[in-house]
Chains A and B, each alone.
Chain A
Amino acid sequence: MAVSIVATGVARTNVDQFRHAIERIPPIEYLAAGYYGRWIRAAGDLLDGSGALDGAELPPPPPAGSLRAVDRPPRFSTGDRVRARDMHTDGHTRLPGYCRGREGVVVMVHPSFVFPDTNSRRAGEQPQHVYAVRFEASTLWGEEAESDVAVHVDLFEDYLEAA
């Protein structure tokens, strides 16, 4: 674990690039490698990709942390009905597949954070608010859902539309 952290630092990569590198591990190897096994593979891949070991000139280290202040107010408020957009990116995203296209209710307005979809490509931080959205289990899983269950998902503003 410590070696993975150090290696991603040497490669000057951010946490979203690291998570994306883990997701790109071939599925069978991903499942067989175990948690920190995935880390060390992803860290090695990022280090190779950075050219650091070959003496390449590196970008500046990524800014620390993920919290970023934004000027605009949150688009949604607690109690708003929202729908998770049915987005299918080729790259990294933090929009879980199981809630895409489903309706829920905003129960918490979180602070604003770096947007992983773009940050994972070093294509800009695009900070934005994050919302805890409550989905009733029946909305996600239909008739087979357990009763009296709700699943809350933390979703970035760009993942949501008014319902």
Chain B
Amino acid sequence: MAKKDIILKAENVSKQYRLGLVGTGTLSDDLKRWWYRIRGKEDPFLKIGESNDRSTKGDSDYVWALQDINFEVQRGEVLGIIGKNGAGKSTLLKILSKVTSPTTGEIKTKGRIASLLEVGTGFHGEMTGRENIYLNGAILGMTKKEIASKIDEIIDFSGCERYIDTPVKRYSSGMTVRLAFAVAAFLEPEILVIDEVLAVGDAEFQKKAIGKMQDISKGEGRTVLFVSHNMAAVKSLCTRGVVLEHGKVVFEGTSEASVDFYLSSGVTSNNSFYLNKSPKEVDVTEVRVINEENQLQNVYGFNQQIKIQIKFSSNAFYLNDAYIGFRLIDVKERIVFSSEDRIVSYVNGDLGVVEIKLPKSTLVPNNYNLTIAYHVPNREMISLLENIVNFNIEETGSEMFKYVGKDYGCVILPCRWD
């Protein structure tokens, strides 16, 4: 086995946050902490605290945003850090970039870390583009000499040459972002920490940005830690992945395996199952969003099969006239499409089951809600269940992966270009 060259190592890193309003009670807690410290005892608040699950109510005012994080990064590696909102990704990045310090544990590194948690930090509207390049570059850790030697490249990369001696407040927002990214792209630290900064600018610029990122990691052999919700970008840019959940590392492996693990960790989520607790005699009883193996799942890859299973009851009166249908609604409350069919072919006795396969590789990565309608067209609405189940499609490599976060429609359809 080749000798491992570990450039960064996290050991038992934990971070505790206090919930609620800062101010009330902090003084008394501070005094208590201080009292324990001068007697040489351990901080009493480190023993309490719960894992950081946003949706359930806890007893403690203290939560662990990160708990016992351990990982190693080798030189030249591109590590993707993935996880749901609130899993602790940003906290980890903040600690890595020294914006805040861990509550316990430590991170050791052999290189300078530069972080890009946000492009354009410290831009001053009254100063010109050129002055801002110097200021922003210096904030990010470059010396004046370094910036001066690269300024022409930076201006060229940003594509804002004409405006370079105009105050930045006159720039369009897109131009500001371009300029800011251009500065960041020419940073030369040993370790680069990046948080979702690729989701800026227009399509042309994003392509440029992703290209630059690839150069940095592949061509120049830089170590990169990359946080993103863009699974396609993680897959294509990263060599290894770490999955965080509720402040803990739950998976570590190749980037492909990590993405798969992340997607399937949505399994058994209750959002993909609906049970009608008080059904009428004729009604929809259960709705499920399931995967190819007929398991409940609510996070899917772009080209994964999604199935909807509806169970319902019926009787002789409705058997021949009633239809069951669904409506797919995206996160912007747009109806993507509807579909329905007569129930008669799915009923056995008084009970019926129907399975609908949604078309693969068609729905744009997004969040979707399902509304189920059980009705006799133009005569009677037997049951209308609005937004009862939902699922999420992640960007795992659709042809539009460059535009994550942009609204480019609801479906991706094959078109013939001649």
A and B held together in a complex: no
